[in-house]
Amino acid sequence: MKRPPAIIGACLLAIVAAIAGWGVCIVFRPARAPSERSGSDDGKAGEAGIAEAPCPIQLREVSDQTGITFVHTDGSSGRHYIPETVTAGLATLDFDGDGLIDIYFPNGAPLPGAPAGQAPHHALYRNLGRWQFQDVTELAGVACAGYGMGATVADYDHDGFPDLYVSIFGPKVLYHNNGDGTFSDVTATAGVADGNKLGAGVCFLDIDGDGDLDLFVGNYVKFTFDSHISFHQGPYEEYAGPKVYPPELHALFRNNGNGTFADVSDVAGITRHPGKGMGAVCADYDDDGDTDIFVLNDVYGNSCFQNDGTGKFREVALELGFKYNGEGTPLGSMGVDCGDYDNDGLLDFYQTSYQTELPVLYRNLGHGIFEDVTRRSNAGQATVNNVKWGCGFIDFDNDGYRDLFVAMGHLQDLIDHYDPTTSYRTWNVLLRNQGDGRFAEVSDQCGIRQTAAHSARGAVFDDLDNDGDIDAVVLNSRAGPTILRNILQESGSQNRWLQIRLRGTTTNRDGVGARVWVRAGDLTLVDEVHAGRGYQSHFGSRLHFGLGPRERVEQVKIRWIGGGVEVFSDVPVDQFVTLIEGRGLPQAAGSTANRSE
Amino acid sequence: MTDTSPERPYLSGPFRRPTILVFAGLLAASAMFGGWAWWHARQGSQRFARALAAVDAQRFDRVQRELDALETTPGYTVQCHFLRGVLLVQQQRFFPALDEFGHSVDDPELRVRTLLHSGEALYRVQNFQAAIGLLVQVLGTEPDSIDAHRWLAAAYYDLGLRDQAMRHMVRVSELDPSDARPHRLMGLIQKDFENFAAAVRSYRESLRRNPQQADRETILLELAECHVKLRQHQDALAALAECRPAPNRWALEAECHYGSSNLVEARRRIEQTLEAAPANLRALLLQGTIFLDEGNVEAAVRVLSQAAAGYPKDYTVRYKLGQAYRRLGDSQNADEQARIAAEIKQLRLQFSELHETAAAEPNNADVRCQLAILAGQLDRPDLARVWFQAALAINPKQEQPQRQVSGGSQPKTKVDAKEEP
């Protein structure tokens, strides 16, 4: 019984099925992650540190559900002006004192050659709770038509309401919070416009411990439209980097205590060290009770202005090991944050950097020296092919160890045409602190790779829904923001937490610069209140401490800038507490070092 | 007695008459002469054509044979000048060659070729600007002349005009897809200017075009170095795996393993390197770095001091040694090393800025002279010499470059230092 037609038919069918199967595999094969696409060791290096267990950090994008319609513009026209590449950071603040953290988005503005249209403006979104936000920009009077670079927040006049200082390409703007939901532009009165410079990171700090918040203003490069330069990469026009522009002076304004400021840049020793400023943070790195200033300079070597306690500064970045990375190379420095990642009681620093450069984790060795531990802590391999901007030392899973969030995206808008190793739009990276001095990349597992890819700039971190875990907001260049909700609590985490707002009485009202130690059983955490950090941004006025399983905080110790040291005992966990200066048990000054306890 | 035999005609028919015979003889003679002349002339043009083909094929023995024959051929004086010029260039007698070319440059048939070979001769005597002038004229007539693009790339490169050099190298690579050399040189320039991703692409293309080129080993090492800079350690290791075992390879492998957090293997490679080459800078630096990572600061100081002794102008060594002293609590030595590092950094910055100036000012001999001096201060005598030569090429009367360059033996161009273009 010969049935060749049937056999041939069956064979043909099998072949067709095989081809179809192969086709389906090709069409539906999983998209490669950016690290694979890059062809670098990212993936490989990350492999060593990728957590096997389900990731306790889970972030979900809720951008579309919040009512936030802000869309960033860089005001570009195709002429590739350098300010377009560096706008902007952003800020979180509770401007109306309702206990819900609101968001301020600086925006660009049309640059020469940009098409005419509706003028963009900065935006303030009031947090209504339940992940709903309302645009109150006009009502609040903070629209600001200037070309926004970043912002910082603090109550500089002790009236109980956080004020807003906006870094601008052009004269900067100080908005005084009137306490009724509106702000007034008091720049001229206060005298803090800082000329017509291309602004960068800005910070409030009390330089001399007099109880008034002073203002550090970082600036980028000397740029005017007449000095504009752009390059070409084959047929594609490129933005010039900072190397082709001269450095700019940073500025320091001392608060006169009457609503005005005095420019003390010269006498304080700031103008002796011009730079190409980007992110800045002010912190007491040497634990001597005054606040020092850290400014990242873009391919120019970072600056650290060490405070002598009287508001006079000495630049010590080189001897500190902060000027360059461990190889002595000045990086394309972007954003900076500080926090104690290894819980040794000393503030460490993390800075982001340009494509092909590792970011740097500066471990504080405790005697005025930092060590670049990026490689051995695995705090950057996953980011190396991208340009890195905003960053934060944030304990996303409340386990008592600060993780690292890095916002990424290239600044060359045409990079995808000529560099296959990177991308203009990409995903941010989350590095989970493993508690052993090393980080593991958990971007794939924590949900941030499920968000849309963007060219991110500033990133801020605060508890937007007051559920005890820290959420994130990322400003994306030429796009709407990415808003990430941390669902740690919803996913049943048993880790405890404590959030502390400081209220200065004789010292500055927001407790800016105050150092806080939290002791819970075997865990002692340290943090400071910073006004201005990350990439030209502000966040975290309310300090957050993840406590792991510990159910009791035995002691919170605070050292107020320009004030004393006091202790608050038996502070309840899983709470928001406001600790008011003078209500604790005073302690003798000098017994502050956590490690000695 | 009368000869009564019938008259035998000497010739019959049309050649019966003597005048006709003479005419015919003359005709035959002129035909023969004409044929000979035509044949001879044809022999000359064929010889010259063969000579040109031999020039193109760089078969200079054949060029010489054809020239010898042409010397006796009337009407080929100009062609002989040209061929003599070509052979003199080959013998590195550049100035006599230029004299010969002076006789052929006005010949319309030979003008472009003469300009091209004159350009080469002028490049060889480091008169880069004059060479560029002639080679640009060649491109005016033959825009796709590969050799003109090639020599222009070399001349621009030696004048420190890298953008122009790159442009012509790219053109060479387009016109001759089998030529591996332009990409090798492009890779080198891109690596020098820290454009490592582009350098990787160039090196890979060069190796693709000619996998067995003489410089293969060097290219692979340079490629691996670029991968290391880009932190593409697996790619670097793959490139190094094709190199023969040697300290430079092991030192780079050590860096890759260190970058991939494979400390055991990194240490093994460092030891291997230092056993074979105790002064290997890369290995010493990495060993010092690992000691610092481990908190073994005394050992780091010892190793980095050894590196600093061998390479006193190396910035990274000085920087790390300063950091190590600082961690040791030795502020005095830390400050001293930091001061030296800052000085080196400043020199490098000046060098980089002057390089940009040189690129923007092709006729500025002073800036090239300053570059040479800086290169000397940075312990790079090879680079110093090349920059002095570039200065001299622009202004042959400059005294300092003359003194410096005349101290050496053979004139060297940057291209010579690597390979012929």
What averages of pLDDT result for each successive group of 10 residues across chain A (597 residues)?
A: 49 49 39 36 40 83 97 94 97 98 97 86 97 98 96 97 98 98 98 97 98 98 94 91 96 97 98 97 96 97 97 95 94 98 97 96 94 93 94 98 98 93 96 96 95 97 98 98 96 95 97 98 97 98 97 97 95 96 79 37
Shortest Cα–Cα distance, A537 to chain B (Å): 29
Comparing CA positions, the residue from A537, A545, A544, A578 lying closest to residue A103 is A537
Interacting residues of A367 by C-beta distance below 8 A, sequence separation 6+: B329
Look at residue B395 in the predicted model and tell me its pLDDT. 84
Please judge whether A371 and B342 are an interchain contact, meaning their C-beta atoms are less than 8 angstroms apart.
no
Q: Does A436 touch chain B (CB under 8 A)?
A: no
Cα–Cα distance, A337 to A406 (Å, whole number): 11
Q: Does A376 touch chain B (CB under 8 A)?
A: yes
Structure token digits, residue B188: 């080198």
Residues of chain A found within 8 Å of residue B261, distances taken between Cβ atoms: 45, 48, 375-376, 378
State pLDDT tens for residues B188-211: 989 988 889 899 999 999 999 999
- Number of other CB atoms surrounding residue A4 within 10 Å: 7
Contact assessment for residue A203 and residue A281, using Cβ atoms and an 8 Å cutoff:
yes
CA distances (Å), origin B23, targets A502, B12, B28, B42: 130, 16, 9, 28
Cα–Cα distance, B5 to A583 (Å, whole number): 168
Q: Which of A48, A321, A356 sits opposite B230 (nearest CB)?
A: A356
Please judge whether A40 and B231 are an interchain contact, meaning their C-beta atoms are less than 8 angstroms apart.
yes
Sign of CA dihedral B129, B135, B139, B145: negative
Please judge whether B235 and A327 are an interchain contact, meaning their C-beta atoms are less than 8 angstroms apart.
no
Of A41, A47, A356, A369, which to mutate for an interface test with B (greatest number of B Cβ within 10 Å)? A41
pTM: 0.81
Model confidence at B334: pLDDT above 80: yes
Q: Does A191 touch chain B (CB under 8 A)?
A: no
Shortest Cα–Cα distance, B285 to chain A (Å): 10
Look at residue A118 in the predicted model and tell me its pLDDT. 76
Look at residue B29 in the predicted model and tell me its pLDDT. 85
Identify residue A56 by its one-letter amino acid code. Answer: P
Cα–Cα distance, A392 to A433 (Å, whole number): 12
Interacting residues of B109 by C-beta distance below 8 A, sequence separation 6+: none
Q: Which residues pair with A166 in a beta bridge?
A: A151, A173
Cα–Cα distance, A186 to A531 (Å, whole number): 19
Residue written as token pair 């035959």: B28
Please judge whether B326 and A321 are an interchain contact, meaning their C-beta atoms are less than 8 angstroms apart.
yes
The half-sphere exposure of B181 on its side-chain side, counting CA atoms within 13 A, is 19
Cα–Cα distance, B89 to B103 (Å, whole number): 15
Interface of B with A in 288-347 (CB under 8 A): 289, 292-293, 315-316, 319-320, 323, 326-327, 329, 334-335, 338, 341-342, 345
Interface of A with B in 298-337 (CB under 8 A): 318-319, 321, 324, 326-328
Please judge whether B334 and A358 are an interchain contact, meaning their C-beta atoms are less than 8 angstroms apart.
no
Interacting residues of B335 by C-beta distance below 8 A, sequence separation 6+: A319, B322
Chain B: residue whose CA lies nearest to A418: B198
Comparing CA positions, the residue from A286, A466, A343, A386 lying closest to residue A35 is A386
Between B371 and B12, the higher pLDDT residue:
B371
Phi-psi region of A221 (alpha: psi -120 to 50; beta: other; left: phi over 0): beta
Identify residue A573 by its one-letter amino acid code. Answer: V
Look at residue B16 in the predicted model and tell me its pLDDT. 58
Model confidence at B185: pLDDT above 50: yes
Residue B159 banded pLDDT, cuts 50, 70, 90: confident
Look at residue B221 in the predicted model and tell me its pLDDT. 97
Contact assessment for residue B123 and residue B157, using Cβ atoms and an 8 Å cutoff:
no
Domain boundaries, chain B: 361-421
Give Cα B74 distance to the centre of its chain. 39
